[in-house]
Amino acid sequence: MDRTVSAAGFAPAELEIAALANAKAILLDWDGCASIANQPFAMTIEFLDVYGDRVVIVSNNSTLLPTDIAEALAKAGANFPAERVLLAGCEAIITAAESGRDVRTLVIGPSRMKAFAKKNNLNLVQKDIELVVLLRDTRFSYAKLDRAVQALRQGARLIVANPDKTHPGLNGALVPETGALFAAIAACVDLETIDVAVIGKPSAGLFEKACRSLNATPDQAVMIGDNPLTDIAGARAVGMGSILVAPGSSLTLKDLLPPPASWAQRTAQRV
């Protein structure tokens, strides 16, 4: 593999490669980092071929199921288990289910995520709401905003899948995210007066659950992502190493692949 070499004769990402070599768990972001529009990059398949047995995909995505990502990877040539895919939307619904099956819950999100909520025994309603679960909803409307706001003003709790306002889309587009819908709600109600839980990164929950899935502690793990405000800040907050990749930096997943053997020996000596 061709690789740009620094003036000292070492690969620019040698320290990051060394960190990955020593990590017991590697947390990998999905949207923008490893894929666009749920289509994995070719370099993602290469990356998983090298590191896959230590990888957990950890994403703030709130419209996909773990099986969707596993299937997308399988079509691209990577055999990756859905059990090692953690998604903020699914985790938000799982968290809501822990409140009990009698809690009257409004889920704002796509129909397939509502179906996932029903499978998790959520009591889905449109009135007398006790809990609002906010996911990315491409059919978000004034009526849905009004229903959520009135419920929250009357004492309902709020679970938000993630705080991201956008994520990268095809051809450089910005895709409005759950955080943009959360901002609309926040414009109408005083968040200090309601019970709000944000599930996705940078909150600690996904990081910690990913580590547990590989019997690792945060200091034995490395987070790879493209968003400094969620991926990197969240990892640092739990004491985890982190690597910022494109579009957040000039590094790509391809740069993080182990160097040729001749460089690996020199890198080991230097580290």
Structural domains of the chain, with CATH = 14-60+202-270 (3.40.50.1000), 89-198 (3.40.50.1000)
Contacts of 144-153 with C-beta under 8 Å, sequence gap 24+, read 144/108, 145/181, 145/184, 145/185, 145/188, 147/106, 148/106, 148/108, 148/185, 149/185, 149/188, 149/189, 151/106, 152/185, 152/189, 152/194, 153/189
What average pLDDT does this structure show over 196-225?
Answer: 98
Report pLDDT digits (tens) over 85-121: 999 999 999 999 999 999 999 999 999 999 999 999 9
pLDDT at 256 over 90: yes
Does residue 73 register a pLDDT over 70?
yes
- How confident is the model over 30-53, as pLDDT tens digits? 999 999 999 999 999 999 999 999
| 8-17, 61-70, 131-140, 158-167, range with the lowest pLDDT | 8-17
Q: How far apart are CA 33 and CA 41, in angstroms?
A: 9
- Residue 204 confidence (pLDDT) above 50: yes
Q: Which residues contact 19 (CB under 8 A, 6 or more apart)?
A: 222, 241, 243
What is the distance between the alpha carbons of residues 129 and 174, in angstroms, rounded to a whole number? 32
93 against 262, higher pLDDT: 93
pTM: 0.90
